[in-house]
Structure 1
Amino acid sequence: MPLFGGGRAPKYVRLGTAQVTHVILGEEVVFDGTTPAVVTLPRATATAGAHVPDVKSGAAVVLPTATAVCEARTPTITAGGAVAMPSATAAAAAVAPQMSAGATIELPTAEATGSAVPPFVQVVVAGEVLLPRAEATATALLPSVAVIAQVALPVATAVGEALLPTVVSGAGVTLPAPSAAAAALVPTFTAGAAITLPRAQASAAALLPVIGGGGSITLPTAAATAAALVPAVSAGAYFTDDFNRANNTSLGANWTETGGDLGIISNQLAVQGTTASRRAAIYNSQTVTPYQSVEFTVGSAPNGTAVAGAVLRCNAAMTEMVLFGVYNGGWQLGRITGINGTYTAIGSGTVTVSSGNTARVQVDENNVYSVYLNGVKNGSSYRDTTWGDSSHRYLGLYVQRVSTTNSHSLDNFVGKDVTPYSLFASDDFTRASLGASWTTRFGPLYIASNELSAVGNASEPISYGWHVNASSTDDQACEARIRWHSRAPLHSSVSVCVRADPASSHGGVHYWRVADKHGICMYSWDGTTFTSATGLADIISTTAAPEGSKIRIEARGTVYTAFLDNVPVLQGTFTTGQVPLTNHYCGVHGEDDSAVSGGGDPPANLDDWAAYAIL
């Protein structure tokens, strides 16, 4: 602003007793005895951003504290001067990750500084300084999550600050009004998620000047706003129907029927009409994946003639589908082309089924079908890859009339996507020693060339190893990649195991292999004897697993299934007295019997070990 006195440009300026002939601000003359002047300083801006990684693996996300600071540096004033300071702004943003699996992310602190360099003012009388308005904004954008996850949303902060001048002569100082705003933007979730909403914070502050002479100070108004927006969450497909509505020959708008007549009788889905045939009702929405589960309650008393149950992996035309049906003496699973077309059996089980029982069938990511009765796995699992594509995503229920006999009715339908495996421990052994993540017994097992090895260890007692992380569920799976290195062990076995509990001296259930044999067994705690699973021989001949293939064992209820490269190869059972379902640790074993006559080579190594909770 121009230099004025009493509303007019001053006729003269004195410094002490000396008269001043000129006042210069930078290169600008602001007083020459006649002419006031106005000086406008530049606008300073700054931006900063912290970009976030893509994360490809489970579930907890801690987002950053993003901060931004802007600063207007103030002039040193030795006499009155009129200065219009710039508007300094700064912005910082933490961009959100794309996440396809559970992970923990710590993001950086993003900072930005904007400054206006102060002028040198050669004014020798009292003046007035106007400081700039300083602003800062920080935004933390939250992730888009494509799997089940736990997300802790960020605390987003922003600070706006105006630093005040050092005044060495009387002056009037008007401070700026700093402001700041922070917002936590909301993710879109495409799978089931647990969400903790953020606490969004913002603050603004004006620092006070040091004043070396009489002067007047007008303090600023500091303002801050914060907002946390609410997420839109879309979970995996989940459909239900309890059929609690009036009797009707139609199930309603959510269903499409095929085959003979069916409808609602006494709040349950049941056969209608006298035509002898199957009739199916397909829910009109698809699952997201081909890994499906259908559950229902057996309504009226089942009989041994007509079967009723679930439909899975059905196409839109309802000409291809998998049927799971129950009757009073068991269950059956098969593929069918058309609801009354050609039926091809996949598997079956024998068990008493009664009114009020809950039956569930699911097909997992390995195309393995498993059946549960009242929440407990029943019978064998069966693998069938048919119709595991994107055009077979419908599911539903079916009933049947055979001659003059109707099947039982059905109730409490639940159809959904299945995510059966949740990784809770893994190890690729790319280090020098096994370390604190493992508990060992005998041996010990050790790392050689970034693989787990038992070469050179005793054949009795065998060498145990269990990961210290425990499964969150009773049902578990454990797998590892087998590395033969051209060895052909005939007695020296390695294994993967589930349902161990070192604290109670239980070594778990193991799927073991040598070059030409395999089996499922429970090893004794002293590492000298073993008990094979019921239904299996102690030692079973086989062909050698390919180099680098994966061996896996799954525990579902009291049933234990061994897989080679995702194909079931063995299945047996242990009672809960032999193996408590509450044993939640997984691991491995190894033994070297190569020094014994006929023992063959030392054992294979293991690599890429992983353990999963089965949900």
Structure 2
Amino acid sequence: MTTFTDDFNRADSTNLGANWVEVSGDWSIVSNQLSSGSAGGTIILRAAGAMATSDNSAQVTIAATAAVSHGVWCRGNSNISQGYLWRNDGTSWNLFSVVGGSFTSIGSFAGAAVAGDVAKVQAVGSTIKGFVNGIARVTVTDTNVTTGTSVGIRAESTNLLRFDDFTGADVTTGITGDAALSSTATLSAAGLRATSGSSVLAPTASLTADGTRSTAGAAGLATSASLTAAGQTAAVGNVTLTTTAALSANGQRSAQADASLTTTASLTTHGQVAYSSTSALTTTATLTADGATATPPGGAALSVTAALAAAGATAASSNSALDATATLTASGTTITTHDDIDVTVGAPYSPWTVGQPYASAWSVQVPQASDWEVDAPC
């Protein structure tokens, strides 16, 4: 794509420089603007460099105007004996096709140019447009001129006109016009499209290290994402996960997903389940040394081999049956609390016996003579 610009900001001179070809007339730089001189008649100025394609445009600012022909042209040949011209004559804007030096009006827009107006003509395919201040005032379909890479200015030679800020450029989709972009656009490092348009992008985008998609769009992602060390999916989406998740050392699931868990969990040394799940537990739990069950209350059956402890208490608290082999201790109490134990009864025991009567410690003797005498009454 080729772009040529000139702001004419240089010393006054009748020599415009190597970037311009004065096809006719005597153009000059006056006060940092382009002047068409004062010789009279219509003169032509062409950019020395050609555009890269026949889809191109030319634009200039009209710094000072007059009621004479003045404007820009594009898709032209070296002397604009063919091309498209967009000009104002003091009463209206007119769009011309030029073939063999003959000018044919193909569109117009009423209104005189004013100082500061930006005039632009554009040819893309068969669509030809004339703009004023960025607004398309005339748009037509024309096939009279299909090729041409020259751009420039055409105006009456009068010192009343001044031009500034010229631009000639190729037109491609994404800038202005309808030119198609080739479908070779690729993704940038950030996952954005390097071009704007309808270019097709190959669906080769893959997952980044953190599991997010490195592109925005409909690019397909491979379903090879696996579980991370923490058991979380390494990708966001519907990526399928393999069902190889197992139990961790503490019996918890190492993945947060629908991965199936094998039912090989067993009881720990203290009789508790090593994980919480619906997996079946084998019924191999036995009694510990102190007679307590090695598993929490549940459906695991206990074998009925529990015997009586030395103190006569049952060695297990469960529904297991106990053998009825309890006997009497030396003191005559039973070792077990079962009600159907037979007890043997011997002769009654009493600490009392019957012997001979015990003699009294008191005796009876002859009365003793009294020292007192009884006399006749006085």
Q: Name the TM-score, length of structure 2 as normaliser.
A: 0.43
Q: Name the TM-score, length of structure 1 as normaliser.
A: 0.27
Higher strand share: 1
